[in-house]
């Protein structure tokens, strides 16, 4: 996750294209790292992963309950910002499609409201109420044992639904693209990598359900499995958000490597006495014509989804006629020599 995150930020900073989706992902990645860091002391103290009857009373201290609630809130925050970041990224590349924009905005509202509701409910049930006696008191523990199971299961169901929603949005749009089937599959695989995170969510929800219906109160033994899956789910989620962006870096490196090998092969196969030479970095230009050839580097997935603008982009991507022709036309018009068929010829040349 860390390598993918650094590559994404590097690409955005290098191309000066930092957007709101990148800032959301920063919060999501920090939340995922904080969630993992919060769980480490609990595992090191050997509180989670043991049966309730094997844990001494001295090990159940107030800090354990505080860390547990903090971890639950960090999970919701990280998952929410990571998924909103992915949807905001969809807005950047699918913005021309009205149906896509509607689905994306509905998803953003649904995810934000869902995770905020779960977080508020968790704080309302888990944080000690006035008169409970503080963290770890009898009243606080009994309420947490009842609510934690239902909240965990509800959280798992919501994660599965939201993951599936986020993954399926690009599928229909990619299917309608005017591309070869092989390219469609390649682009779809970039987005459908999120099915790994969806699988972790489903497996974690099954374990949460078993913990909810288990008759014996043994949360610390049952919860350790789906907490481990939560760690994997958050890390895979951040990775999925980074793949479509650092994919550009991998493609650029691939193109440069292929170009280098092709040049080396041509140099090795060209005999020393041959008159054919390879000249790099030089361009021959005809008078009055400017060559502006773009690089072969893929600038982003917008290349697949956005249409080129007719004025600016077409000029940048090909050969454009220079102004001497138009200047000549004005000079002839001033002299009164631009009449009849000559006017049509100059109009055709200028409008090329």
Domains of the chain listed by start with CATH number:
2-257 (1.20.1070), 289-350 (no CATH)
- The winner for highest mean pLDDT among 60-64, 102-106, 213-217 is 102-106
pLDDT at residue 23 greater than cutoff 80: yes
pLDDT band at 283 (very low <50, low <70, confident <90, very high): very low
Question: Under a CB-based contact definition with an 8 Å cutoff, are residues 174 and 191 in contact?
Answer: yes
Confidence at residue 31, expressed as pLDDT on a 0 to 100 scale: 93
Alpha-carbon distance 193 to 196, whole Å?
A: 6
Q: What residues pair up with 289 in beta bridges, in sequence order?
A: 321
Question: Under a CB-based contact definition with an 8 Å cutoff, are residues 247 and 190 in contact?
Answer: yes
Please state the rounded mean pLDDT for residues 172-200: 76
- The winner for highest mean pLDDT among 162-176, 266-280, 335-349 is 162-176
pLDDT at residue 259 greater than cutoff 80: no
Residue predicted with more confidence, 347 or 107: 107
For residue 138, what are its two tokens? 């009898």
The three-class DSSP label of residue 40 is helix
Residue predicted with more confidence, 288 or 215: 215
Please state the rounded mean pLDDT for residues 320-328: 45
The three-class DSSP label of residue 77 is helix
Confidence at residue 229, expressed as pLDDT on a 0 to 100 scale: 87
Residue (of 305, 308, 316) closest to 191 by Cα position: 305
pLDDT at residue 314 greater than cutoff 90: no
Q: In angstroms, how far is CA 235 from the centroid of its own chain?
A: 12
pLDDT at residue 37 greater than cutoff 70: yes
pLDDT at residue 315 greater than cutoff 90: no
Mean residue pLDDT of the chain comes to: 74
- Non-local (6+) Cβ contacts of 92 within 8 A are 19, 21, 302
pLDDT band at 309 (very low <50, low <70, confident <90, very high): very low
Alpha-carbon distance 149 to 213, whole Å?
A: 9
Confidence at residue 35, expressed as pLDDT on a 0 to 100 scale: 92
- Tell me the H-state helices in the chain: 2-15, 20-44, 62-94, 98-126, 138-175, 181-192, 195-213, 219-269, 302-305, 312-316, 324-335, 341-350
Please state the rounded mean pLDDT for residues 265-290: 53
Is pTM, for the whole model, over 0.85?
Answer: no
% of the chain with per-residue pLDDT over 90: 18
Q: What residues pair up with 320 in beta bridges, in sequence order?
A: 290
Please state the rounded mean pLDDT for residues 317-326: 44
Tell me which long-range contacts 43-50 makes (C-beta under 8 A, separation of at least 24): 47/220, 48/220, 48/223, 48/224, 48/227, 49/220, 49/221, 49/224, 50/220, 50/221
Please state the rounded mean pLDDT for residues 236-252: 77
93-97, 136-140, 307-311: which has the minimum mean pLDDT? 307-311
């Amino acid at each position: 996750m860390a390598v993918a995150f650094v590559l994404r930020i590097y690409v955005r900073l290098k191309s000066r294209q930092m957007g709101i989706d990148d800032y959301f992902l920063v919060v999501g990645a920090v939340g995922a790292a904080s969630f993992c860091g919060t769980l480490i002391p609990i595992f090191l103290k050997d509180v989670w992963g043991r049966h309730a009857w094997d844990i001494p009373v001295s090990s159940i201290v107030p800090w354990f309950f505080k860390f547990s609630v903090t971890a639950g809130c960090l999970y919701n925050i990280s998952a929410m910002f990571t998924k909103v970041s992915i949807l905001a990224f969809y807005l950047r590349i699918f913005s021309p499609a009205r149906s896509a924009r509607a689905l994306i905005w509905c998803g953003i509202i649904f995810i934000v409201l869902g995770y905020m509701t779960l977080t508020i409910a968790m704080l309302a049930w888990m944080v000690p109420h006035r008169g409970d006696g503080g963290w770890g008191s009898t009243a606080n523990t009994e309420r947490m044992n009842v609510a934690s199971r239902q909240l965990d299961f509800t959280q798992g169901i919501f994660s599965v639904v939201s993951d599936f929603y986020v993954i399926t949005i690009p599928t229909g749009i990619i299917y309608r693209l005017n591309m070869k089937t092989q390219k469609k599959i390649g682009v779809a695989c970039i987005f459908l990598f999120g099915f790994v995170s969806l699988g972790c969510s489903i497996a974690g929800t099954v374990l949460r359900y078993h913990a909810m219906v288990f008759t014996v109160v043994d949360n610390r033994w049952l919860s350790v499995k789906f907490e481990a899956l939560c760690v994997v789910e958050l890390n895979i989620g951040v990775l999925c958000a980074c793949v479509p962006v650092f994919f550009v870096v991998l493609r650029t490196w691939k193109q440069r490597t292929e170009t280098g090998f092709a040049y080396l092969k041509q140099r090795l196969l060209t005999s020393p006495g041959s008159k054919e030479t390879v000249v790099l970095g030089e361009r021959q230009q005809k008078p009055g014509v400017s060559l502006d050839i773009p690089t072969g580097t893929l600038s982003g997935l917008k290349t697949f989804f956005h249409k080129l603008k007719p004025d600016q982009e077409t000029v940048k991507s090909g050969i454009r006629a220079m102004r001497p022709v138009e200047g000549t036309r004005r000079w002839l018009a001033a002299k009164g020599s631009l009449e009849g068929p000559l006017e049509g010829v100059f109009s055709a040349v200028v409008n090329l």
